[in-house]
Amino acid sequence: MSKKEATVADSPPSDPQTTTTNSSQWSTWNVTSSDWNILLVSTVIKLLLYPSYRSTDFEVHRNWLAITHSLPISKWYYDTTSEWTLDYPPFFAYFEWLLSIPAYLVDPKIVDLNNINYDSWSVIAYQRTTVIITELVLATALLRFVSGSADPSIQRVISAALFLHPGFLIVDHIHFQYNGFMFGILLWSILMARNGNRLASGILFAILLNFKHIYMYLAPAYFVYLLRAYCLTPSGRVEIKNFLSLANAVIGVFVASLGPFALMGQIPQLLSRLFPFTRGLNHAYWAPNFWALVTALDRIILRLVQLTGTTRISVDSAGVSSSSRGLVGDTVFAILPQVKPIHTFIITLLWQAIVLIKLWKNPSYKSFLTALTLSGWASFLFGWHVHEKAVLLILVPLSLLAAERHAYFRTFLIASTAGIFALFPLLFTPSESVIKVVYSTVWIAFVYGALNRRVYEYPTSPLYVVIDALEKLYLAGFPCLLAFTTGISLRNERISASSSESSGSAMEFLPLMVTSIYCAIGMLWSFLRLGFIYFLEESDYQGQLSAVG
Amino acid sequence: MFGDYEAQRHWLEITTHLPFREWYTYDLQYWGLDYPPLTAYVSWVCGLIAHSLNPAWVALDASRGIETPGSKLFMRLSVVVLDLLVYVPALVLFVKTWLGTRSHRTQEHALLVLLLQPGLLLVDHGHFQYNSVMLGFTLVALSLFTRGRDLGAAIAFVMSLGFKQMALYYAPAVGSYLLAKCLWLGWARGARLFIRLGATTVLAFTLLFAPFFLPPFAPSFAHVLHPITRIFPFGRGLFEDKVANFWCASNVVVKWTRLTIAAAGGDEEKARGWLVKLSTLLTAVGFTPSVIGLLRAGWVTMPSGSNSQKQEEQRDGEEEKTLPGFIALLPYALLTSSMSFFLFSFQVHEKTILVPLLPLTLLMAAAQPGSSLHCWGALGNNIAIFSMWPLLKRDGQGIACLATLLLWNMVVGYNPLKRTGEKKVVVKENVTKTSSLWSLPFVQLVSLAVYPAAIALVLLEMVVTPPRRYPDIIPVLNVLISTPVFVLIWLWSIKCGIEVGWALGGWSSGSHHKLPEKLPVEGSNSKGHEDGHGPSLD
């Protein structure tokens, strides 16, 4: 065999060099064959997950297909045939309506309103496929991030890491939601901001808000950024043309979304669906935020009070029963003062205000990205009834900052590990538990391997050395935490198999509580960490993104 | 109602709770143990672990049919762990041995091609079996043969046989390779190796079966008949279900069972005896070319004169580390022999196609995309999935089939129409499409016929319900599409074996290399066969 043939045989088909000619037609997108390989491998993994566990969100979305397909638009936000009523903004309803048309062709029973809990093969394959296909919005945004970035090779790693993010795999492809699609819109919006097209960025964010209102967590940063960087000149004069075009465009988006319902006089009904203020401080499983720590503190003090039998501290009996109920119901504190929605609202806004003042002073792209992350982070940590899935609102923009400097990378590492681990309780079935752990571990290892040595910096002071060691210790705690929760769940299965009576709820709640608390510590610490970096950004933490306007 | 999964799980249950003597006799009606002892021992270890984690998963009798999420995960993980313990290291060893002189990239790529082989993934991790353990031990044997460690290899092959009797499909090739090596070594050293091999093999089998005939465990020596009759059940039909082999395919025209029963005058036992004999004879005829090829190579390449003089000077015990050139024949012989068993032997299951797929995939792992070796390997793997489609679809693995096939074909860089070497010429001369179609190599013409037929059948199945007169029409058509491909692969492997052997015969100085740096298959390049450029590992 000739030498030339041998070298061809030596290079597997994934070799980017052999396919450079192929990629010329994609030059505008700069899709390399390794990009195709990532897309292929991730698609294969997602296809193999079709038969995996599905949460009730799967039925929720199926029901929305049925509502939008079989009912006139005037009844969308009134229908209560299923308990899973439509509670996303109108653009998402329109989106479901679009998806319901092919669904009807695939299997008319999918869009039958009364066909509750339909779970035939056709509906599973159809809905899972729509998640994979709509996620291409995310893929294209991430590809665009690579071309025109300050360091394409690093951005390629970050883009790949985001596309393969365990959060999306767990929440979208197993649990079932459309986050990949919507975070795709968010990333397109951020990309437009990076490329200097702030009007498009604002419009895209307005559109995103009308898909899912949870993105309001990020809205303050957008508001300040667009106002300061687009509607005002650097000297502070109003750019009247920019202001009007942005205002008109955003109003236009909201009219397109809410207009039909405003004409029908359904806005109050719509808002009551979108904002049900009847829920408790914590979600069933505590999201790893500040309130999880406060609730845990309350439980610990209560336990101490009960043990010592002191009467000097007044105990709220409702709180005692709340703590024993564990997983279900509202959180009522036994010792600490009760928290009302308004309190969480004020605390969140205060934290955001600190960040936004800084953003107002320095409305650069990097500053915007950091403020966006911190704004979502403050909402996540201090908001009312926060769901653990909202952690993606932090992790996605934070990932874009990951390779900026070592300080950013370390923050990203701690927040990603804690945030992803906090998503684990979403999947409690044994097989999916193995998948989530293995996939997330591989992902973290790859991201760490690809980025750490590029950004590594020695700690410069004794304090930093101590912090560095403590953080490593914290990260090393996650395998132990995993071993602990796995051990408890194995024990629970043994007990439930050997005895008919239900095992104590405490043992079921304990792993969740410990997970929540441990992850909350990491989330809170990395929030403070990024905040600290943000305020010293211009003096100490300049990186490649600082060059972007 | 249950299948392989419950059978394997049940074996955990009986091995954990019963003494050896009852393993092959306990309630045989309920998925009685019918695999060789190593499977039983592995089940025992798994069962003990399962028992310590959750006794309910393997409780005797009480756990029958248990499919809790935890127990299912445990069983699935046991396959993954055994894969990691046996199959993956075996693949790494193989790649290091056979492609040790090639670039790292080639080695990694070949490893990926073998690891992601869709048939094994779908059957072991989807349908649920432990084939990878049996295949892994055979792979270890092959690698050890190639490293000249024949005794270790013999033990590994006994382990393979002792895990699953399907490894017998390889036995003619392995046996004749060893015999050929004894011939090649010459009278004195050959005889010594022969005796050592015989002693090792007998000892290994004895140890493996010891608990079933030695007094403290077994009631009597005759007790060993229990496992043996369980392992070789000739009391069943010629073929079960629909399987893409000679018997099932020819049954469309010749109703073998009915015909022989009529000829035997209604005596079903007698008729079955005839069929067993006939199928054994055909199988033997099927694998004979590989046996003859190996023995002939051993005879022809026997070193003489100064060469053997030099070897005589080597110390005792060294002889088994020398390596004959005809080791290159072994993968082809394994393919010929196992495919012949699959096509012609008695009582074959559709999943058994995995046995011939292993040597086929080994051969193609480092082949250049577009070469005929690569094309046959890819065609065989893809059509194997197609031949198992009725089974896999029943398991609910439709999407998984699609996903693994997609991934694997992308990894191997398969394009049924790709032509290497000649590509540029075709472009230059601007040959019209019709003429270039006929100038395609034979294997690509076969692919062009088979793939559309297979895809059409799968699509047809989705939209058409079979007519009442022919309820089995779809599986039968599947068999009729798949069988010719397997027959062609069998013939092709014989052809390659002859070519390689012929090339070896030409090397009168054929002595030992330490490693097969260049496998002699490239000798076939010189002879113009259908595609003009030979199969090659390089």
Cα gap A391→A419, rounded to integer Å: 6
List CB contacts (< 8 A) between B369 and chain A: 13
Q: Nearest C-alpha of chain A: how many angstroms from B437?
A: 24
**Across residues A380-387, what is the average pLDDT?**
89
Q: Do B56 and A5 touch (CB under 8 A)?
A: no
- Going from the C-alpha of B67 to that of each of A422, A465, B2, B72, B434, the distances in angstroms are 29, 51, 11, 6, 56
Give pLDDT, residue B256.
Answer: 84
- Interface contacts (A, B; CB < 8 Å): 84
A295-307 pLDDT, tens digit each: 888 888 888 888 8
Q: Do A8 and B410 touch (CB under 8 A)?
A: no
Longest dimension (CA), chain B: 79
Question: Of A269 and B216, which is predicted with more confidence?
Answer: A269
Question: Of B415 and B99, which is predicted with more confidence?
Answer: B99
List CB contacts (< 8 A) between B364 and chain A: none
Mutation for B interface: A1, A17, A435, most B CBs within 10 A:
A1
- Domains of chain B: total: 1
DSSP state of A169: I
A98-122 pLDDT, tens digit each: 999 999 999 999 988 888 888 888 9
Average pLDDT taken over every residue of chain B = 83
User: Nearest CA to A481 among A449, A452, A447, A520?
Assistant: A520
Q: Using pLDDT thresholds of 50, 70 and 90, give the confidence band for residue A492.
A: confident
User: Tokens 């990532």 correspond to what residue?
Assistant: A38
Chain A residue whose CA is closest to B112:
A12
Q: What residues make up the domain containing B148?
A: 68-185+233-304+319-510
List CB contacts (< 8 A) between A431 and chain B: 69, 72-73, 76
The rounded radius of gyration (Å) of the Cα atoms in chain B is 24
Q: Do A490 and B54 touch (CB under 8 A)?
A: yes
Q: Say yes or no: A328 contacts chain B, CB-CB below 8 A.
A: no
Mutation for A interface: B127, B410, B537, most A CBs within 10 A:
B410
User: Nearest CA to A168 among A157, A177, A159, A160?
Assistant: A177
List CB contacts (< 8 A) between B102 and chain A: 10
**Across residues B332-338, what is the average pLDDT?**
95
Q: Do A431 and B105 touch (CB under 8 A)?
A: no
Residues 5 through 34 of chain A touching chain B, CB cutoff 8 Å? 5-6, 8-14
Cβ pair A524, A508 in contact under 8 A:
no
Tell me, yes or no, whether B123 lies in a domain.
yes
Cα gap B213→B222, rounded to integer Å: 7
Cβ pair B20, B210 in contact under 8 A:
no
Question: Of A140 and B417, which is predicted with more confidence?
Answer: A140
Cβ pair B504, B328 in contact under 8 A:
yes
Tell me, yes or no, whether B143 lies in a domain.
yes
Cα gap B510→A166, rounded to integer Å: 56
The DSSP H or E segment spanning B437 is helix B433-438
Give pLDDT, residue B235.
Answer: 62
Which range scores top for mean pLDDT: A269-278, A281-290, B236-245, B334-343?
B334-343
Tell me, yes or no, whether B220 lies in a domain.
no
Q: Do B109 and A12 touch (CB under 8 A)?
A: yes
Cα gap B131→B121, rounded to integer Å: 10
Which two structure tokens, joined as six digits, stand for B190?
A: 């050959």
Distance of CA A7 to the CA centre of its chain: 45
ipTM: 0.81
| Cβ atoms within 10 Å, residue B517 | 10
DSSP B368-400: PTTSHHHHHHHHHHHHHHHHTHHHHHHTT-HHH
Cα gap A538→A528, rounded to integer Å: 17
Q: Above 80 in pLDDT, residue A328? A: no
B266-281 pLDDT, tens digit each: 788 888 888 888 889 9
Q: Do B407 and A431 touch (CB under 8 A)?
A: no
Which two structure tokens, joined as six digits, stand for A541?
A: 């933490």
Q: Do A493 and B70 touch (CB under 8 A)?
A: yes
Cβ pair B489, B447 in contact under 8 A:
no
User: Tokens 């119901």 correspond to what residue?
Assistant: A329
Tell me, yes or no, whether B356 lies in a domain.
yes
- Going from the C-alpha of B33 to that of each of B4, B15, B82, B137, B415, the distances in angstroms are 11, 9, 19, 21, 43
Question: Of B336 and A338, which is predicted with more confidence?
Answer: B336
Four-CA torsion B382, B383, B388, B394, nearest 10 degrees:
70
Cα gap A422→A512, rounded to integer Å: 9
Distance of CA A263 to the CA centre of its chain: 34
Q: At residue A386, what are phi and psi to the nearest 5 degrees?
A: -85, 140
pTM of the model: 0.86
Give pLDDT, residue A413.
Answer: 95
Q: Above 80 in pLDDT, residue A488? A: yes
Give pLDDT, residue A505.
Answer: 53
The DSSP H or E segment spanning B227 is helix B225-231
DSSP B133-170: HHHHHHHHHHHHHHTT-HHHHHHHHHHHHHH-GGGGGG
Give pLDDT, residue A497.
Answer: 65
B185-196 pLDDT, tens digit each: 888 888 999 999
Give pLDDT, residue A7.
Answer: 39
DSSP B276-318: HHHHHHHHHHHHHHHHHHHHHHHHHT---THHHHHHHHSPTT-
Chain B residue whose CA is closest to A498:
B56
Q: Using pLDDT thresholds of 50, 70 and 90, give the confidence band for residue B428.
A: very low
Give pLDDT, residue A336.
Answer: 79
Cα gap A379→A220, rounded to integer Å: 10
**Across residues B60-85, what is the average pLDDT?**
91
Question: Residues A359-363: contacts with CB within 8 Å, 24+ apart?
Answer: A359/A221, A359/A224, A359/A225, A359/A228, A360/A224, A360/A228, A362/A537, A362/A538, A363/A224, A363/A225, A363/A228, A363/A229
Cα gap B204→B233, rounded to integer Å: 23
User: Nearest CA to B504 among B323, B322, B296, B290?
Assistant: B296
Tell me, yes or no, whether B493 lies in a domain.
yes
Query: Among B77, B112, B538, whose Cβ lies nearest the Cβ of A1?
Result: B538
The percentage of chain A sitting over the pLDDT mark of 90, rounded to a whole number, equals 54
Distance of CA A316 to the CA centre of its chain: 35
Chain B residue whose CA is closest to A6:
B538
Q: Above 90 in pLDDT, residue B159? A: yes
Cα gap B41→B11, rounded to integer Å: 10
Q: Say yes or no: A338 contacts chain B, CB-CB below 8 A.
A: no
Q: Do B76 and A51 touch (CB under 8 A)?
A: no
Cα gap B244→B119, rounded to integer Å: 15
Q: At residue B239, what are phi and psi to the nearest 5 degrees?
A: -150, 155
Cβ-count burial of A467 within 10 angstroms (0-12 exposed, 13-18 middle, 19+ buried)? middle
Query: A49-63, B25-39, B113-127, B381-395: lowest mean pLDDT where?
Result: B25-39
Cα gap A510→B469, rounded to integer Å: 62
Give pLDDT, residue B223.
Answer: 78
DSSP state of A287: P
Tell me, yes or no, whether B440 lies in a domain.
yes
Q: Nearest C-alpha of chain B: how many angstroms from A494?
A: 6
List CB contacts (< 8 A) between A10 and chain B: 102-103, 105-106
Helices (runs of H) and strands (runs of E) counted in chain B: 25, 0
Tell me, yes or no, whether B33 lies in a domain.
no
User: Tokens 């068999």 correspond to what residue?
Assistant: B479
Mutation for A interface: B407, B524, B526, most A CBs within 10 A:
B407
Give pLDDT, residue B404.
Answer: 94
Q: Above 70 in pLDDT, residue B510? A: no
Q: Do B68 and A434 touch (CB under 8 A)?
A: no
- Going from the C-alpha of A494 to that of each of A500, B66, B74, the distances in angstroms are 11, 14, 13
Cα gap A60→A176, rounded to integer Å: 10
* DSSP H helices in A326-429: 341-361, 365-382, 392-400, 406-423
Cβ pair B180, B298 in contact under 8 A:
yes
Cα first-last separation, chain A: 55
User: Nearest CA to B368 among B485, B522, B527?
Assistant: B522
Residues 411 through 450 of chain A touching chain B, CB cutoff 8 Å? 429-431, 434
The rounded radius of gyration (Å) of the Cα atoms in chain A is 25
Q: Say yes or no: B480 contacts chain A, CB-CB below 8 A.
A: no
